[in-house]
Structure 1
Amino acid sequence: MTRRPLAVVLVLACACPPAPGSSDSEGAGSGTTAEPTTGTTGGPTTTAPPTTGEPSEPETATVVHSFGNYLMTPYLEIEPCVQWTLHNEEAIYVNAVTLVNDGGFHHSNWFAVPEEVFAGEDGFWDCASREYNEITAAVEGTVLFAQSTQSRQEVMQLPAGAVIKIPPRHKIIAGVHLLNLGSTDLDSELRMALDILHPRDIGAVLAAMHLDYRDLAIPANKHSRFTGNCSFKSTFEESTGHPFDMKLYYVLPHYHYLGEYFGLEILGGPRDGEQLFKLDGFNGGANGAAFDPPVDLSDADGLRFACGFNNWLNKDIGYGIGDQEMCMMLGLVDARVMIESRVSQGSQLVGVDGEVVLLEGECANYAVFKNPAQGPPTPEELGRPLYVPPADPGDVDLEPTKSCVDSAATAAPDTPTTLTSVRDSIFTPSCTFSSCHDSSAPAAGLDLQTAAGLGARLLDHEVVADTPDPLVTPGDPQASWLYRLVAECEPQNGNGAVVRHMPFNAPTLLPDPLVAKLRAWIEAGALDD
C-alpha cells in the first residue's frame, strides 16, 4: 500500500502492560511532566479567564457519535476515510476527545474541516474518491486528535481551559488504517465523544506540531536509537516576526511493533536535556500525555526526540507501513504557527551505548500559519449560553463508551475449536496484534505468537498474577485464569481484587462466539493439534 501524505500530525502509541491480571493499574507509558519556567505566551490564541467574582465550575457538555460498524473480513488491510458532520451553527471548544472501537483500528488521524471540504455523506468512504489528504485537512481546518497505535479505548484529556477549536459549520474527518489479522470476520464499531467548554472558561486555543524521523535505516538483529534535533526557534521567529513563544500542552508518540522506546526533551537554552516524556515498550494502550501546567519553551531552541527499536528480524527496516517502522510525535501547543520538523536525510552514526546503536539527524523545520478561523472566542460567544450542536437521531442518549457484559456461558462457539484456530482467531488479532504477547518480548513471559510448542507453553506457564488458578486447566474453563480474563468483565484474583480483563485496553470483551471457542477448547482437554 502507498502511504498518504503527512500533515502536521500523525498517529502515535505504546508500552506493554503489566502481567495479565497482575494489577489494575495502567501499563507503563505515562509521560512525566517537567515544571516549566514561568512566562507568558503573548500569542494570539490565549484568552484570559475571568478574574472577578468567585471562581465557578467550568460549564461543559458532551457530544457522542457512533460512526457505525465496519466489517473486516479475515486478513483485511484497508485505509478508508470516515466523517461526522456536526451541523454546528456556532463554534465549539473541545477540551477532551474519547475514541472507542472494537478492535482492528490500527491507527487514525482526526481533523475538523469546513463542511464543503472533501464534500460527501457521513460514514465510511473511499479516501481517493474525494481526493482526501491530511495536509489539506490540517491547513483548511485544524488537527483534532490522533489515535495511539491499535488502542481500543482512548481519552485525550487536555488541561483545564485548553481546547481545540471547531469553527461553525465544520465536520470531523479522519483517515483510518484498518487491519484484521484474525481468521474470522471482525465487526468493529467506532465511537467518538467530544467534551466541550463554554468559551468563557477557555485559556488557550491549541494548534498542532509534528516531529518526524523519516530517515530510518534500522539495522537487522540489533537494538538501535534514532535521535532528531529539532531547533525550530529561528524558523518560528522568521515566519512570525515575533520572539519565540510556545507552550507545550500534549504529546503523543508513534512507532510500530519493533519500537521499544520514545523520549522527548528540551533542546538548547538553560534547560537543555531536560526530559519531558519517556515511553518504554509497545502495546495497544493510550499513550498520550498532557502537561499541566504546560511546558514553556520560550527559553529553548526547540525539542529533541528519540525512538528506539529492537529489530529482531533478519533484514533492515525502513520508514513506512506494513512491516516497516515510523518515529514521530504529535504535539498540541499554544503558539502563533503550526510547526513541522522532520529528519529526512543525513543521519549519522554517533556511537554505541551497550548493545544499542546510536544515530542522530538534524531536523528541517517548517512553520505554517494557522487557519484564521482558529482565533480566540469573540465577546459575543463569551456572553452567550453554552452552545451544544444537535445530536444525530441515532446518537441520542449514546454513552461515550460501551458497557461491558460478561460472556454468555451458553453461547455457541465459533468453529473449529482447535488450538490452531484459537491462535489464529483470538491470540493473533487480540493478544499479539499489539505486540504484548509476541515472540520478541512477551508480556509476563507468555509468547502467544509462536505456533511451535504453543500448547505446552499454555499448560506449563507460570502465572504471575495473584491467583491460585493455572493459566489453563484442561477440562475446566472456570479454573483457567486465561479463560476468566477474557470471559469476565471484572475477573477477581486470589485476594478478591478486581483486575483488568483482556484484551488489553478494551472496553468490552471479545465476541461471545470467540470466547466460547476458547471455552470449548479447554473443555475438550486443551489439546495441542
Structure 2
Amino acid sequence: MIPLLSACAGVEPSPPAACAPGEELYRGRCVHPAARYEPEERIDRDNVVAFGAPPTRLALPEPPRSGFRIIAPPRTLSPGEEVTFCLSWPFPALVNRTVHAARVYTTAGLHHSNVIAKPVNPAFGPNPYPDCHPGADDPFGALPAVIPDVLFASSTQVVGDETLVFPPGMGFTLDTSREIATSVHLLNASAEPEVVELAYDFFTMPLAERAEELVPFVMNVNDFLVPPRATRTVGATCSTFGGNIVSLMPHTHRYAEAFDVDVVRADGGGEARVYEGGAFDLESDIEVYRRAIALEEGDSLRYACRFKNTSGHALTFGLGDNEMCTLFGYMYPPEKQFAAFSARDGEPCMSFGIGAFR
C-alpha cells in the first residue's frame, strides 16, 4: 500500500528537514507526488467504477480524494495463454477534471494496456460496459476528427504498481462527456493458471493549479524484420512542430536490448541524448522531466530500438513472440501535438500535426 500524506494532523508542522524515500516536499509537507493536490477531506465520493468480482489479490489503498478509480473484472488465464481485448467504463461525477497523476495496480499477467477516452459513438450509443463497441479502444481510427484523450499507458509487463506524475502545475483535462476504453494485452508466462487483477487511479487537481495543459504524442515503426539469431536496430527520425516534452515512455517486448532517444536540432545545432533505456525488464520505463525538453519547430526526435533475436524465428511488428518499437509521451502546448510513424523500418517518418485540429 502506498502512503499518501505524511504531515501530522492538528497544528501545522514545521517543514521537515528531509522527506522519506518516494516523497517530496510540497508546500511545507512531505507527500507522495501523486498526492500533491489531494485535499484534506474527500471531495469525490462516488468515484469508483468497477465491474465483475472484486479484486482479492490487489492491496488497493483508498481511492483518490480528488479523482477516480476504475477496476477491471478479474480474468483467469491458462498457462501460456495470451489475450487482447477491450474494456470500457463511464466517467463518474468529478469535482476537478485535470489529471496530474495516474497509477496502475496489477498482478502478474498484464503485458500492457492503454487507457483512452473518446466521444460516445453516435452509430452505436454508449459502450456496453465493461465490453466495447468495435473500435472503441482504437486511438487512431477517427483522426483528426476525433483526437482521443490518453489517460495512461503502462510499461511492458510491470507487476505491482506503476505511477505517472507530471511536474507541479501540469496536467491534462478530461472531457467527462466521453467514455473510457482500454486496450488490454494479457500474457500468462507461467506454467500455472493465473488470475489477473487490474485497477487504475487518476488523481485530479483544481483547474486554477494548472499552468500548462498536456497532450499525448506517439511515434511508431509499423513494420520491421529482425532475422533469427541476429541483432538489429530499428528506429526512425521524425520531425516535430515545436513544443515541450514532459515525459517519454518506450514500448518494446522481451528481445529489446536498448532504447535511445535523441533530439536533432533543425538549425544544425547538433544532437542531444534525452533518454537511454537498457535491456527489457519488469520495471517502469516512464521518464518524467521536471524541466521540459524544449523543441523548436522542425526539430526532430530520433529513436532507436536495438533487438537481440535469440529465437529461431524472425521478429516482426506484432503481439505474441514478436516486437514493437514505439515511443509515447506527453507534451505542451496542445497545438503542438503530433503523431508520427514509419510504414516500415528504413522508410521516412511521416509526422502529422494533429494539434492544429484542436
TM-based fold match above 0.5? yes
TM-score (norm 2): 0.74
Partner in structure 1 of residue 283 of structure 2: 285
Matches within 5 A, 1:99-498: 99-115=104-120, 119-123=126-130, 125=131, 128=134, 132-136=137-141, 139-152=146-159, 153-232=161-240, 236=241, 245-268=242-265, 269=267, 271-298=269-296, 301-335=299-333, 336-345=335-344, 347=346, 361-369=347-355, 372=358
Letter in 2 for 1:82: L
Q: How many angstroms apart in 2 are the aligned matches of 1:70 and 1:200? A: 40
Contact 1:90/1:169 (8 A) holds in 2: no
Q: How many angstroms apart in 2 are the aligned matches of 1:100 and 1:155? A: 9
Which region of structure 1 is more displaced relative to structure 2, 99-108 or 61-70? 61-70
Q: How many angstroms apart in 2 are the aligned matches of 1:170 and 1:215? A: 32
Deviation of residue 177 (structure 1)? 0.8
Contact 1:228/1:306 (8 A) holds in 2: yes
Deviation of residue 225 (structure 1)? 1.4
Q: Which has the larger radius of gyration?
A: 1
Deviation of residue 196 (structure 1)? 0.7
Letter in 2 for 1:188: V
Letter in 2 for 1:145: F
Q: Give CA deviations for 1:120-168 in whole Å, capped at 9, x if unaligned.
A: 2433x2664x665222477353112111111122101111111121023
Q: Give CA deviations for 1:155-206 in whole Å, capped at 9, x if unaligned.
A: 0111111112102333322111112233432222211111111111101111
Number of aligned residues: 292
Q: How many angstroms apart in 2 are the aligned matches of 1:148 and 1:185? A: 23
Q: Give CA deviations for 1:209-260 in whole Å, capped at 9, x if unaligned.
A: 111123412132222212311123xxx4xxxxxxxx3000011101111111
Q: How many angstroms apart in 2 are the aligned matches of 1:59 and 1:370? A: 33
Structure with the higher helix share, 1 or 2? 1
Q: How many angstroms apart in 2 are the aligned matches of 1:278 and 1:132? A: 30
Give the 3 Å change call, closer, same or farther, for CA 303–133 of structure 1 in structure 2.
same
CA-based RMSD of the aligned residues comes to: 2.6
- Match of 2:155, SS? coil
Q: Give CA deviations for 1:72-131 in whole Å, capped at 9, x if unaligned.
A: 2333222111122123366600001100111211111111223557722433x2664x66
Deviation of residue 299 (structure 1)? 6.4
Contact 1:342/1:364 (8 A) holds in 2: yes
| Percent of residue pairs identical | 21
Question: Is structure 2 residue 92 aligned with structure 1 residue 87?
Answer: yes
- Match of 2:261, SS? strand
Q: How many angstroms apart in 2 are the aligned matches of 1:59 and 1:167? A: 21
Structure with the higher strand share, 1 or 2? 2
Deviation of residue 300 (structure 1)? 5.6
